[in-house]
Structure 1
Amino acid sequence: MARYRLTLHCGLHKTGTTALQKVLHRNRGALAARGVFYPSPPEGVGHNRFFRAALAHELQHALEAFFVSGTERLLLSAEDLSHHLLDPERTRAIRDTFARLFDIEIIVYLRRQDRLKESVYAEIAKRRFTGPIAADTHYMLDFRERLARLEAAFGRDALKVRLYPEDAPCPTLLLADFCAAAGLDPAAMETDGIRHNAAFHRRKTLLLSEMPVGGGPSGREFIRFLATSAVPDDDGIRFLGAPDTHRAILETYRAGNDAVAARYRMPDPIPTFEMTEEHAAWRPPAPITEAERKAVLHAFVAAD
């Protein structure tokens, strides 16, 4: 029986995954012409839903569509796999779903941990988390441990480990790097108008971290409103964490990062901390005032 090829792109979170998925979804025809099948999900442009137990039928439908597509390679992109694949039992189940018919390769994007922590915190503050950034410890930043769990299930040679290109035009550089890892041609991809999801400035994140917004419809509506709100003021400083905090985070994982870069032959290693002008200009954010909080809430209610 002929074997197919499966490429699983599994994040991490906050590494440009959504922009990349938009490119892949838009260019499904160009990919199919080159023997690569990128399924169109019922919602959105990525495949997180395929790996939720309650929606397993959606993955089955995608596989059925692949097998009649005439292509030889299935490409799935789901950043939530970076959570699922921390669980050995879940990892084995995912592997066994595909292993009989597919040769599996996994593309993982890492991001320097200080930036990753800031970005993940800004995201969860939009949904459910309240408290300071130092209190958020839910996201595993130990990349050596993460990849060891993947390697135990899939083998080292199945893993293609890349470094997310910080502060680069998106999706241009990220797409070029992904295509290099996946053996695709970026010149065949149309990318006009696709950009990173816009990030909130740090004082908006600070406001959210003090409000239990939640993930329901009203919470999502508030987030959309806040994206265009002029309040609270932007102080022009990028990070919530102080330079010493960023340095300490990277130093904590330095040995593991070096080991990961060597073991998985990363084209670009995870950098160590360097003091930049951006860091030198850092100061603590001004607290959110009661006047700012009231102004935002009153404007939101008035806009409803």
Structure 2
Amino acid sequence: MTDGTKKDLYIHVGVHRTATTAIQATMFRNWKSLKDRGYLYPLGVERHIGVFNNILNNKKDARDVAAMLAQRAVAHETEIHTLIMSDEDISMRRDLSQLLPFREFFNVKIIFGMRRQDLWLESWWAQNVKGQWDRKLCNISWPDFMAGRAQFHWIDYDRYLAHLEKLFGQSNIRPYVFERTQMPRGPIAAFCRQFGLEGGEGLTTHGGSNISLCPEVSEFVRHLPLIEADMGVRLALIEVAEVVDRKVRAENGPVLLIPHDERRAIMKEYEAGNRNVARRYFGRDALFLEPLPDRREPVTTPALPGSSKELMERMMAPFLEEFVKRANKMLK
């Protein structure tokens, strides 16, 4: 620990679409195993969105929360040396200075996963129209989403990390790259490595994979008012859409959303910042090591099938068939 009188607190601030759901589920389900080794994932929740929203929305003082966490850490019969908290929505905030009081009680470290920006944009649109929790984005078309992509300020990693460095010091920032080749043992092991648990040894993984729907099914779901449904109903309808997606995906295979020239232009915008991050934290020029997609890979703009007949056959009928099948089981 940096200060022998304080415990370490690792705050995982994001970003989205970097296996955060699986990470949180794994940390939560392995609570006892982690605690036995001196790591505490506190408050009995998978995701610490509530406590951080309360602080960042001025409903609670970070000093009071930090004091409570420090008291809980010393109350355990096992000696706790490290606490870990996680909420990817933190990364959407432009100013995290309200978290500074945590430093009075802990050696604060920030964990920050980085996915290549072009891939992140594709995944973030698909996730928004699938999950439908944000009214501004849940029914947005792909072209409109891309036209407004400047709002996603947190994927300017150089600028965002500079803000974190100003608050907590560069030596306390733990960024890592969300790429297969840079996570040879997977994303959960890569995450655990940031707080000192090498390879996530002894942890049972949970949470599965929160995959995006393919472009055609994403466009279909985008037109559905899932956001109006209660959460349980919404999740059930998403599962129905995933069944349709598997059928469509088997026919078409994965396709990209961003045209190749536009993709290169997007990454050119982030090139200098990504290089700065790579040099500061990894001692190299390239932040992301995997190449951009080959020009021969197919690209599509999300669209519904061209005719009403095809729409019914490919989307509506399979969706209703699966829905009816599940509804019948529930009513028995």
Flag whether TM exceeds 0.5 (same fold): yes
Letter of the structure 2 residue corresponding to residue 189 of structure 1: G
Of residues 14, 19, 22 in structure 2, which corresponds to 1:16?
19
CA contact (8 A) 2:22 2:205 kept: no
Q: Give the deviation of 1:193 after TM superposition.
A: 6.0
Of residues 143, 150, 158 in structure 2, which corresponds to 1:134?
143
Residue 190 (str. 1) matches residue 203 (str. 2): yes
Counterpart in 2 of 1:7? Answer: 10
- RMSD of aligned Cα (Å): 3.2
Counterpart in 1 of 2:330? Answer: none
Of residues 303, 307, 328 in structure 2, which corresponds to 1:287?
303
Count of paired positions: 295
Q: Give the deviation of 1:104 after TM superposition.
A: 0.7
Q: State the TM-score, normalized to the length of structure 1.
A: 0.83
- Secondary structure in 2 matching 1:253: helix
Q: Distance in 2 between matches of 1:40 and 1:25?
A: 10
Q: What does residue range 136-285 of structure 1 map to in structure 2 within 5 Å?
A: 136=145, 137=149, 138-140=151-153, 141-166=155-180, 172-186=185-199, 188-191=201-204, 195-214=208-227, 216-217=229-230, 218-229=233-244, 233-234=248-249, 235-265=252-282, 269-271=286-288, 274=291, 276-277=293-294, 279-284=295-300
Letter of the structure 1 residue corresponding to residue 222 of structure 2: S
Structure 1, unaligned runs of 5 or more: none
Q: Distance in 2 between matches of 1:179 and 1:3?
A: 21
Q: Give the deviation of 1:199 after TM superposition.
A: 2.7
Structure 2, unaligned runs of 5 or more: 328-332
Counterpart in 2 of 1:118? Answer: 122
CA contact (8 A) 2:11 2:85 kept: yes
Q: Distance in 2 between matches of 1:124 and 1:46?
A: 19
Q: State the TM-score, normalized to the length of structure 2.
A: 0.77
The verdict on how the C-alpha distance between 1:267 and 1:192 changes in structure 2, with shifts beyond 3 A counting, is farther
Q: Give the deviation of 1:297 after TM superposition.
A: 6.0
1:189-208 CA distances to partner (integer Å, 9 max, x unpaired)?
A: 23356532233222111222
Residue 67 (str. 1) matches residue 63 (str. 2): no
Paired-residue identity, %: 23
The verdict on how the C-alpha distance between 1:263 and 1:286 changes in structure 2, with shifts beyond 3 A counting, is closer
Q: Distance in 1 between matches of 2:273 and 2:228?
A: 34
The verdict on how the C-alpha distance between 1:206 and 1:14 changes in structure 2, with shifts beyond 3 A counting, is same
Counterpart in 1 of 2:92? Answer: 83
- Secondary structure in 2 matching 1:191: coil
Q: Give the deviation of 1:56 after TM superposition.
A: 5.2
Pick which of 203-212 and 151-160 moved more.
203-212
Of residues 91, 99, 110 in structure 2, which corresponds to 1:94?
99
The verdict on how the C-alpha distance between 1:109 and 1:266 changes in structure 2, with shifts beyond 3 A counting, is farther
Counterpart in 1 of 2:41? Answer: 38
The verdict on how the C-alpha distance between 1:244 and 1:101 changes in structure 2, with shifts beyond 3 A counting, is same
Q: Give the deviation of 1:112 after TM superposition.
A: 0.4
Q: Distance in 2 between matches of 1:106 and 1:133?
A: 32
The verdict on how the C-alpha distance between 1:266 and 1:226 changes in structure 2, with shifts beyond 3 A counting, is farther
